[in-house]
A = this chain, B = another copy of it.
Amino acid sequence: MNDHPTRKTLPRLDESLLTHLPPFSRLEKRQIRTILDQATSRRYEAGVAVFREGHPADRFYMLLDGYVRVVRITATGEQVTALHIPAGQLLGIARAIGRDTYPATAMTATESIVLSWPTRLWDTFVAEYDGFATETYKTVGHRVGEMNTRIVELATQQVEQRVANALLRLINQTGRKVEGGIEIDFPITRHDLSELTATTLHTVSRLLSGWEKRGLVLSKRKRITVCDPHALVVLGQG
C-alpha cells in the first residue's frame, strides 16, 4: 500500500491548480483542461528522487506542492545541492535547453505533489501555448543567475557568510512567519545545509550554536527559525 513514490491518477485535476502559475497564466480554461488531461499526477514522499542525473529526459515536471532539491553527485559520492525549487515551478526541463538527459538529480525535500508530461509534448506546449516558452526561459534565466551567484559565493566567501546567505535565501523562498521569527518551511538537517554551502555538518552545527547564543536564530532538530534576519544579512556581507 505504501508504494514508495505513490502514483495517483487523481479522479480529476482542477483547473485552478495551474491558472495562476506563470507558464500557464495566459491560457484559456479550455487549454488548461487539455494540459491537465495529458498530465500524470504523482505524490512523492520526502527524500526520494523524481529523476536522476544522466537518465534520458523523457518527462518534464511541474511541482505543485512541496520542495525539491536539485543535487549533483560527485565521483566520490558526495552530494552538492545546486538549487532549491519551491512549489509552482517547472523542473526537469532539459528539453528547453537542448539536452536529452537530465543534467542533475531532483530529490524531494518534503512530501511533494508533482505533475508531469512526456517530453514529446514539449514542442507542442511551446508552439501552442502563448507565454509558455517565455515564462519557461525566465525560469531558466533566474536559475542561471542563482548558479552564478553560487559560484561567486563559493569562490570568494568564508563559510560563515555562505551559511548566513543560504539561510537568508531559504527563508526568502520558503519562509513561514512564526512567533519569534521566520521559519524554514521544510525539515532541513545540518547535513543538508552543509551540502548547500559546501562545508561540513560540524561547522554548520557550530555556527548555528553560536548564532543561537547570540539570539540570531533558533534551531531544533530539522527546524531552523531566523529571529534576526538583518543581523544575518550583515554577517552575509562579510
Contacts and interface: CB of A to CB of B under 8 A. Distances in A.
A78 B147 contact: no
Interface stretch (A35-43, A110-118, A138-146): A138-146
A198 B140 contact: no
A151 B154 contact: yes
Interface stretch (A91-99, A180-188, A201-209, A214-222): A91-99
Interface of A: 72, 74-76, 78, 80, 82, 94, 96-99, 103-104, 134-135, 137-145, 147-148, 150-152, 154-156, 198, 237-238
Given A97-B137, A151-B82, A151-B150, A74 B144 contact: no
16 contacts: A74-B152, A76-B156, A76-B238, A78-B156, A80-B152, A80-B156, A94-B141, A97-B138, A98-B137, A103-B145, A103-B148, A144-B144, A144-B147, A147-B147, A150-B151, A155-B198
A148 B96 CA distance: 17
Contacts of A148: 72, 82, 103-104, 147
A174 to B, nearest CB: 20
B103 A144 contact: yes
A237 B98 CA distance: 28
A75 B149 CA distance: 12
B147 A151 contact: yes
One complex includes copies of this chain to the number of: 2
Nearest to A99: B141
A145 B102 CA distance: 10
Contacts of A99: 138, 141, 145
Given A140-B97, A148-B82, A154 B155 contact: yes
B80 A137 contact: no
Contacts of A147: 144, 147-148, 151
Contacts of A94: 141
A151 to B, nearest CB: 6
Contact of A156 (B143, B152, B198): B198
